[in-house]
Amino acid sequence: MNALAARTNTTPGTAQGPPPRRRTALVPTVTLLLGALYCLLPVAWVVIAATKSGRELFSTFTFLPGSGFADNLRDLNTYRDGVYWRWMGNSALYAGLGALLSTAVSACGGYALAVYRFRGRETVFNILLAGVLMPPVILAVPQYLLLAEADLTDSYVSVLLPLVLSPYGVYLSRIYAAAAVPADVVEAGRMDGAGEWRIFTRVALPMMVPGLVTVFLFQFVAVWNNFLLPYIMLSDDEKFPITLGLYTLLEQGANTPALYTLVITGAFLAVVPLIALFLVVQRFWSLDLLSGAVKS
Amino acid sequence: MPNTKRVRLVATSVAVALGAGALAGCGSSGGDSGTDSGPVSLTYWSWAPGMDKVVDLWNEGPGKKERITVTVKKQASGDTLVTKILTAHKAKKAPDLVQAEYQALPTLVSNDALADISKDVGDAKGRFAEGVWQQTTLGTDAVYAVPQDIGPMMFYYRADLFEKYGLEVPTTWDEFAQTARDLKKKDPDKALTTFSANDSGLFAGLAQQAGARWWTTSGDRWKVAVDDAATRKVATFWGGLVKEGAIDNQPMYTPAWNKALNTGKQIAWVSAVWAPGTLTTAAPDTQGKWAMAPLPQWSASENVTGSWGGSSTAVTTDSRHKAAAAKFAAWLNTDGTALNALAKESGIYPASTSAQLSGAFLNPPEYFANQADFYTRAAEIAKTTAPSAWGPNVNVAYTSFKDAFGAAAKNRSDFVAALNTVQEDTVADMEKQGFEVVR
Amino acid sequence: MRNAPYGFLLPPAVLFVLFFALPIGYAVWLSFRKVRVSGLGLGSGARTEVWAGLQNYTEALTGGELLHGALRVLGYGCIVVPVMLGLALLFALMLDTEKVRLASFTRLTIFLPYAVPGVVAALLWGFLYLPDVSPFSYLLGELHLPWPDLLDGGPLYLALSNIAVWGGTGFNMIVIYTALRAVPAEVYEAAKLDGCSPLQIALRIKIPMVAPSLVLTFFFSIIATLQVFNEPTTLKPLTNSVSTTWSPLMKVYQDAFGRGDIHAAAAEAVLVALATLVLSFGFLRAANRRSRQEGAR
């Protein structure tokens, strides 16, 4: 990845070129701001609710900030010796490593399907796609039973592995590879005597970066928010991801009321790493890798 | 118990297996015998908060002596936990001990997930009310769990608002209906309470109070009577109140419901002994304004309540140390220190009768500080709990209830028709599985 | 070079077999079986798994609930898919416009709902939809306007669709936007020199260029719609109008995890998968044929 990043940084972003005039495009900006407002309003509720104390949550005006954020944070921090942070770490591990592996696998598969013409290409592609037809809800139990055969349940691996292959990621990679990796570039690589693997890693991968970061982002969020698979697989709450951990705070039996304020504050904090990830990832969308690579 | 004998005669395989289960419980079969002498390590799935701290008392006390270490793996409560246990059991990977609600026990036993621990729980039986203990035996000679907490039902109301509107605390359901109507007349914006279909346990408890016995056995057949006369009476009663608009028809546990309780839009709640905890979250501004009374009765001469909630500790058939696990389960739910810790750390209301008036229960819950005798009265009410009769597919009946009564409450339509749907669904499911069912 | 594509496809193929094909096969196998109880069904050996043939399938098809759920979901999909994808395309094109301000802020914000975990979604929408606590209902009340009951009848579909559109637009926007970024800038320069307006560039060049991504988003939106689960499950605790079997997948979930009948659930899941197969791959095939025809022209 490092070599790749270094390479991309050396190709200057010639994106849309310097605009001739510095006037704001009004219609697009306003449209986007309206869209942002629509999307932000419910999210704002999570932020505001995280500041409310248990007393204020159900009794004050919905969008009125409360006074309990510091207390909520402290309660969350001390809840069972800070197990929340452990869940956060677990989620980061599942989502980070899972998305990385998933992106690598998607890149391989998508590249092969986009660049090569071989017998059974469409069949392979369709079979991979068909994997999403069976609802994941029903697959969790068989996946559990199969991993139990290998004695892998209740382990980090049991949550990581089933999510590595993402048909969505493969499809996306195929489309982006088809658009971003011109056949003549691959052909030129072969003329130079480069092996297929070398062409893939040195020439094609850098061109696919914008698409691959998208795959990574999607897969990261998908694993981060995944619930049912870890629910079935894990019994040890030290291995729980954040979604499952927060769920145990909501469902503590009738004797103990749900810890709403902890759950909301926890959910709010759990969105922060996703925002950070997005901010990092979106830098890669603005690189015009295609033209840079063709020129070099 | 003639019933069990017949089962054993009819299905020999079952008989052999039941016998084997009991033997395994004694520690004389399988891997149990040799291991009990050495150090034993057990896992325990529980959703109760603070359970790890209670278990620490065992690990540092009696557990240390017996060289039995228990590790809690905290879970989320709910119906899906039963599926999770059964899925794990299918792979022979269920934990040694599980927390299970009473109505889930027949389902778990029916899937052969729970071990018979009758030989290992000693004199535990005497610590519990008859009706509570019977839920763990399913009417057989076996014992499948040790009761942990119970949820005897009670009537909660806003004492200040009852006074303001000149309402009397209802002692019968007729008075309850009249109270609801009186309140509507005095203030149409308010409602005494709501009929909520999103927790079937509430309705099951109300039916239980009226004398319903939904699942019973006769010979080796199940008798399903979800639509028996007692339950029909309860359904007609609540359906009538919803239809005439005397009470609300929106579900409980929503932000709107919390607000209704907090602002006095709803001024009473038919609930169970654990209600103070829920009210603390839902209606924080009205602390000290509520009072608890026994559930209204069907006739003035009666004194009986139902139960809503409550759970037990069970040992799974996958455990390789069943005797040790049973020993722990018995300690957890009968030992004074353990029960005190459970009350303090997990906020449970103990099933053990002696614990109901000791230690943690000398003072009322904080939310009910104004009602000094809260737990004394609670213990008296708990004694009047009607026996319950659970069957192997309570989950099916509960799901069907949520949908049928949810729709009926929304449309303010016939509750008895909805009840018939629940009965039909429950019977159909059992017949599909191959149970012989008497209606 | 001949074997190269197979080498690249090996990792996804192995994972596919292990975590898709095998569990799917197992689920299909389960769908043809059922549990048989003897006697009271208590104790070990009382339950045996037996061959059920097509019984689970006929029951799922004749039970009515699954079909009703499918109809509800089709109605819901007719709102969600066009609105969500229309907005996603619109936003993506706007983001790709020159001189647009605050692009990275709006891009992040529109994507953000996708990151809100389902665990809090029910609370969130409860606070926004239920008239007693909703700030919007409060505002309308101040203006002496009535607040519609969003959780019943026709408005329920709008309430559900709103959650889906809110959560999914950003995701699809990013897919389309990423594709737009892959279009070489030279293409636009040429069009601009020819005197094309930004709108013309968008309609004549950009949309055809990202057609494969639009097909992809459509394909997966059809699947997501037929397998809709989160949105109605989110609203279920708030209202009596959403039953536990409102959508086909809720029925699957309910049978598997509520009723503990994995066999019936597996059969229903297979039926849902088949319906999804027909609709989604039918669409894909039609889309491919069209693009091929256009390519031939």
Mutate to test the interface with C, among B4, B6, B14, B315 (most CBs of C within 10 A): B14
Are residues B189 and B78 part of one domain? Answer: no
Q: Which residues of C touch A116 (CB under 8 A)?
A: 4-5, 8
What are the structural domain ranges in chain A? 66-295
Q: Which residues of C touch A42 (CB under 8 A)?
A: 113, 116, 124-125, 128, 166
B380 domain-assigned: no
Are residues B156 and B221 part of one domain? Answer: yes
What is the DSSP code (8-state) at residue B118? Answer: T
Q: How far apart are CA B32 and CA B260, in angstroms?
A: 55
Determine which helix (DSSP H) or strand (DSSP E) holds B269, and give its type and residue range.
strand B268-272
The model's pTM: 0.89
| Complex confidence, ipTM | 0.90
Nearest CA in chain C to B318: C44
Flag if C178 and A214 touch (Cβ within 8 Å): yes
Residue B30's pLDDT is 38
Across the interface, of C46, C59, C259, the residue whose CB is closest to B395 is C259
Determine which helix (DSSP H) or strand (DSSP E) holds B311, and give its type and residue range.
strand B307-315
Give pLDDT tens digits for A59-80. Answer: 888 888 988 899 999 999 999 8
Q: Report B:119-148 residues touching A (Cβ under 8 A).
A: none
- B32 pLDDT above the threshold of 60: no
> What is the SS3 assignment for A150-169?
CCCCCCHHHHHHHHCCCHHH
Across the interface, of B263, B282, B346, the residue whose CB is closest to A255 is B346
Each residue's pLDDT, cut to its tens digit, for chain C (297 residues) gives: 678 899 999 999 999 999 999 999 999 999 999 988 888 887 777 888 899 999 999 999 998 899 999 999 999 999 999 999 999 999 999 998 878 888 889 999 999 998 887 777 877 888 899 888 888 888 888 888 888 888 888 899 999 999 999 999 999 999 999 888 877 777 888 888 888 888 888 888 899 989 999 999 999 999 999 999 988 988 988 899 999 999 999 999 999 988 888 999 999 999 999 999 999 999 999 998 887 777 665
Residue A287's pLDDT is 56
Q: How many CB pairs under 8 A join B and C?
A: 138
Per the CB < 8 A criterion, the answer to whether A207 and A288 are in contact is no
Nearest to A179 by CA among C91, C187, C138: C187
Across the interface, of C42, C45, C123, the residue whose CB is closest to B13 is C45
Q: Which residues of A touch C188 (CB under 8 A)?
A: 16
Are residues B113 and B31 part of one domain? Answer: yes
> Helix or strand or coil: residue B31?
coil
Residue C131's pLDDT is 87
- A10 pLDDT above the threshold of 70: no
Flag if C243 and B407 touch (Cβ within 8 Å): yes
Q: Which residues of B touch C256 (CB under 8 A)?
A: 83
Are residues B421 and B282 part of one domain? Answer: yes
Nearest CA in chain B to C50: B433
B381 domain-assigned: no
Nearest to B433 by CA among B392, B394, B404: B392
Nearest CA in chain C to B222: C40
Least reliable range by pLDDT among A261-270, B367-376, C119-128: C119-128
Q: Which residues contact B274 (CB under 8 A, 6 or more apart)?
A: A254, A255, B151, B309, B347, B349
Residue A260's pLDDT is 86
> What is the SS3 assignment for chain C?
CCCHHHHHHHHHHHHHHHHHHHHHHHHHHHHCEEEEECCCCCCCCCEEEEECCCHHHHHHHHCCHHHHHHHHHHHHHHHHHHHHHHHHHHHHHHHCCCCCCCHHHHHHHHHHHHHCCHHHHHHHHHHHHCCCCCHHHHHHHHCCCCCCCCCCHHHHHHHHHHHHHHHHHHHHHHHHHHHHHHCCHHHHHHHHHCCCCHHHHHHHHHHHHCHHHHHHHHHHHHHHHHCCCHHHHHHHHHCCCCCCCCCHHHHHHHHHHHCCCHHHHHHHHHHHHHHHHHHHHHHHHHHHHHHHHHHHC
Are residues B158 and B144 part of one domain? Answer: no
B361 contacts chain A (CB < 8 A): no
B375 domain-assigned: no
Q: Report C:147-166 residues touching B (Cβ under 8 A).
A: 152
B383 domain-assigned: no
Nearest CA in chain B to C255: B396
Token pair recorded at residue C208? 């055809």
B164 domain-assigned: yes
Flag if B251 and C133 touch (Cβ within 8 Å): no
- End-to-end alpha carbon distance in chain A: 20
Beta-sheet pairing, B221-224 with B40-46: unpaired
B75 domain-assigned: yes
Q: How far apart are CA C274 and CA C278, in angstroms?
A: 6
Domain endpoint, select from B322, B340, B369:
B369
Phi, psi of B312 (to 5 degrees): -140, 170
Flag if A242 and C102 touch (Cβ within 8 Å): no
Per the CB < 8 A criterion, the answer to whether C66 and C268 are in contact is yes
Structural domains of chain B, count: 2
Are residues B122 and B13 part of one domain? Answer: yes
Q: Which residues contact B386 (CB under 8 A, 6 or more apart)?
A: B131, B208, B209, B211, B304, B305, B306, B307
Query: For chain A, which chains pass the contact test of at least 3 CB pairs under 8 Å?
Result: B, C
Q: How far apart are CA B427 and CA C52, in angstroms?
A: 19
Residue C137's pLDDT is 86
Token pair recorded at residue A169? 């990621």
Mutate to test the interface with B, among A57, A58, A227 (most CBs of B within 10 A): A58
Across the interface, of A104, A139, A164, the residue whose CB is closest to C23 is A139
Rg (CA), chain B: 22
Residue C124's pLDDT is 87
Are residues B358 and B423 part of one domain? Answer: no
Nearest to B18 by CA among C262, C40, C277: C40
Q: How far apart are CA A168 and CA A191, in angstroms?
A: 33
Beta-sheet pairing, B268-272 with B146-158: antiparallel
Flag if B83 and C260 touch (Cβ within 8 Å): yes
Flag if A235 and B87 touch (Cβ within 8 Å): no
Query: For chain C, which chains pass the contact test of at least 3 CB pairs under 8 Å?
Result: A, B
Give pLDDT tens digits for B143-159. Answer: 999 999 999 999 999 99
Flag if B84 and A153 touch (Cβ within 8 Å): no
Token pair recorded at residue B387? 């026996």
Mutate to test the interface with A, among B87, B252, B287, B361 (most CBs of A within 10 A): B87
Across the interface, of C188, C216, C229, the residue whose CB is closest to A175 is C216
C-alpha to C-alpha distances, A95 to A109, A129, A235, A240, C224, nearest whole angstrom:
20, 22, 19, 12, 21
Over residues A95-107, mean pLDDT: 97
Q: Nearest CA to CA, how far is C126 from chain A (Å)?
A: 11
Residue A240's pLDDT is 96
Q: How far apart are CA C135 and CA C129, in angstroms?
A: 9
Over residues A251-269, mean pLDDT: 84
Across the interface, of A23, A33, A165, the residue whose CB is closest to C12 is A165
CA B149 from centre of chain: 8
B378 domain-assigned: no
Amino acid at A107: A
Higher pLDDT, B37 or B69: B69
B29 contacts chain A (CB < 8 A): no
Percent helix, percent strand, percent coil in chain A, to nearest 5: 75, 0, 25
Per the CB < 8 A criterion, the answer to whether B101 and B132 are in contact is no
Q: How far apart are CA A181 and CA B417, in angstroms?
A: 65
Q: Nearest CA to CA, how far is B251 from chain C (Å)?
A: 6
B76 contacts chain A (CB < 8 A): yes
Query: For chain B, which chains pass the contact test of at least 3 CB pairs under 8 Å?
Result: A, C
Q: Nearest CA to CA, how far is A75 from chain B (Å)?
A: 14
Rg (CA), chain A: 23
Residue A191's pLDDT is 92
Are residues B253 and B314 part of one domain? Answer: no
Nearest CA in chain B to A140: B87
Confidence of residue A296 (pLDDT cuts 50, 70, 90): very low
Determine which helix (DSSP H) or strand (DSSP E) holds B157, and give its type and residue range.
strand B146-158
Q: Which residues contact B172 (CB under 8 A, 6 or more apart)?
A: B296, B297, B298, B299, B300
Flag if C36 and B433 touch (Cβ within 8 Å): yes
Per the CB < 8 A criterion, the answer to whether C231 and C157 are in contact is no
Are residues B396 and B253 part of one domain? Answer: yes
Flag if C184 and A291 touch (Cβ within 8 Å): yes
Domain limits at B200?
A: 152-307+388-438
Percent helix, percent strand, percent coil in chain B, to nearest 5: 50, 15, 30
What is the DSSP code (8-state) at residue B296? Answer: P
Per the CB < 8 A criterion, the answer to whether B347 and B145 are in contact is no
B382 domain-assigned: no
Flag if A63 and C124 touch (Cβ within 8 Å): no
Q: Nearest CA to CA, how far is C67 from chain A (Å)?
A: 17
The domain that holds B24 is classified in CATH as: 3.40.190.10
Q: Which residues of C touch B140 (CB under 8 A)?
A: 42
Q: How many CB pairs under 8 A join A and C?
A: 294
Across the interface, of A59, A256, A258, the residue whose CB is closest to B285 is A59
Token pair recorded at residue C287? 């889309």
B257 contacts chain A (CB < 8 A): no
Give pLDDT tens digits for A39-58. Answer: 999 988 889 999 998 888 88
Q: Where do the domains of chain C lie, and which CATH numbers do they carry?
A: 63-296 (1.10.3720.10)
Residue A286's pLDDT is 66
In the sheet with B221-224, reading across from the earlier edge strand, the strands are: B215-218, B221-224, B437-438
Q: Which residues of B touch C257 (CB under 8 A)?
A: 79-80, 83
Nearest CA in chain A to C104: A282
Q: Nearest CA to CA, how far is B79 from chain A (Å)?
A: 11
Over residues B196-203, mean pLDDT: 94
Residue listed under structure tokens 């795959």 = A215
- B19 pLDDT above the threshold of 80: no
Nearest to A258 by CA among A246, A267, A240, A243: A246
What is the DSSP code (8-state) at residue B167? Answer: P
Phi, psi of B385 (to 5 degrees): -65, 130
Per the CB < 8 A criterion, the answer to whether C169 and C88 are in contact is yes
Per the CB < 8 A criterion, the answer to whether B345 and B50 are in contact is yes
Which CATH number applies to A66-295: 3.60.15.10, 1.10.3720.10, 3.30.465.10, 3.40.50.150?
Answer: 1.10.3720.10
What is the DSSP code (8-state) at residue B309? Answer: E
Q: Nearest CA to CA, how far is C14 from chain B (Å)?
A: 24
Flag if B87 and A141 touch (Cβ within 8 Å): yes
> Helix or strand or coil: residue B419?
helix
Are residues B61 and B48 part of one domain? Answer: yes
Are residues B217 and B141 part of one domain? Answer: no
Q: How far apart are CA B10 and CA B18, in angstroms?
A: 13
Are residues B286 and B174 part of one domain? Answer: yes
C-alpha to C-alpha distances, A217 to A221, B244, B308, C205, nearest whole angstrom:
6, 54, 45, 27
**Count of residues in chain B:** 439
Nearest to C117 by CA among A91, B222, B55: A91
Q: Looking at the DSSP assignment, which residues form a beta bridge with residue C34? A: C50
Mutate to test the interface with B, among A52, A238, A255, A263 (most CBs of B within 10 A): A255
Nearest CA in chain B to A246: B76
